[in-house]
Chains A and B, each alone.
Chain A
């Protein structure tokens, strides 16, 4: 099935460092979403972006909806051990096509 290009595939960082991950697509999306998934759990919504160029924060997390509507990035500042998990981007075309198209995920490991 179709998947978005998400990078990096994995990251190993020290506690307190900032993290950046991004997602690109060959298709335009009307909504970009970022989810975090812990082992054995369902994805939890972190940030939703509904407008091209939109920059949205949720605590230490900041995400942007690319101007071309074909990309998005997620930044995590001052990482802590509980940030460990798999982060997924997802695009949604909306109305005519509301299915989420996911990236393959970025696995984040944080050492204290």
Chain B
């Protein structure tokens, strides 16, 4: 079975541009979460979606937005890019939100974003 897939794998943008990152969860998983990982740090939570509804939001500015589609895939959008947005963006999927093993998150390979 395919794991979590993300596209693109790498992306180079300039300041002020916007970017859209895509994620497909593991088959049967209904929840998708997005994380930002800067070099030398652990991943930081951005958003979680379950059944197409936002279930949680981390401490990120409104320039960051996301949505989940009926097939449970998801997009992360970042507007007005800043140099500090350069990071590895990770998507994770889980079965649902009933606690315990249902919420265990499995990560994709990430999208490496470089903002110049």
A31 within 8 A of B: yes
B44 within 8 A of A: yes
The answer to whether B103 touches A92, judged by C-beta atoms less than 8 angstroms apart, is yes
The answer to whether A102 touches B100, judged by C-beta atoms less than 8 angstroms apart, is no
A98 and B31 CA atoms in complex are apart in Å by 10
For residue B24, give the distance in angstroms from its CB to the closest CB of chain A. Answer: 13
Those of A15-74 within 8 Å (CB) of chain B: 30-31, 33, 35, 40-45, 48, 50
B25 within 8 A of A: no
Q: A40-B112, A41-B110, A98-B97 are in contact. Are A31 and B104 (CB under 8 A)?
A: yes
Contact of A94 (CB < 8 Å), options: B33, B90, B100: B100
The answer to whether A104 touches B106, judged by C-beta atoms less than 8 angstroms apart, is no
For residue A81, give the distance in angstroms from its CB to the closest CB of chain B. Answer: 22
The answer to whether A102 touches B107, judged by C-beta atoms less than 8 angstroms apart, is no
Those of B16-53 within 8 Å (CB) of chain A: 31, 33, 35, 40-45, 48
The answer to whether B103 touches A105, judged by C-beta atoms less than 8 angstroms apart, is no
A-B pairs, 10 with minimum CB distance: A102-B42, A42-B107, A99-B45, A1-B44, A94-B99, A95-B99, A42-B109, A43-B107, A98-B103, A42-B110
Given contact pairs A88-B43, A99-B48, enumerate 20 new A-B contacts (beta carbons under 8 Å): A1-B44, A1-B59, A6-B42, A30-B99, A31-B104, A42-B90, A42-B109, A43-B43, A43-B107, A44-B107, A94-B99, A94-B100, A98-B31, A98-B55, A98-B56, A99-B45, A99-B56, A99-B58, A100-B35, A102-B44
A sample of 13 cross-chain residue pairs with beta-carbon separation below 8 angstroms, ordered by A number, consists of A1-B58, A33-B104, A40-B112, A41-B110, A42-B90, A43-B43, A48-B101, A88-B42, A97-B56, A98-B31, A100-B43, A100-B105, A102-B42
Query: Which residues of B line the A interface, CB within 8 A?
Result: 4, 31, 33, 35, 40-45, 48, 55-56, 58-59, 90, 92, 94, 97-101, 103-110, 112
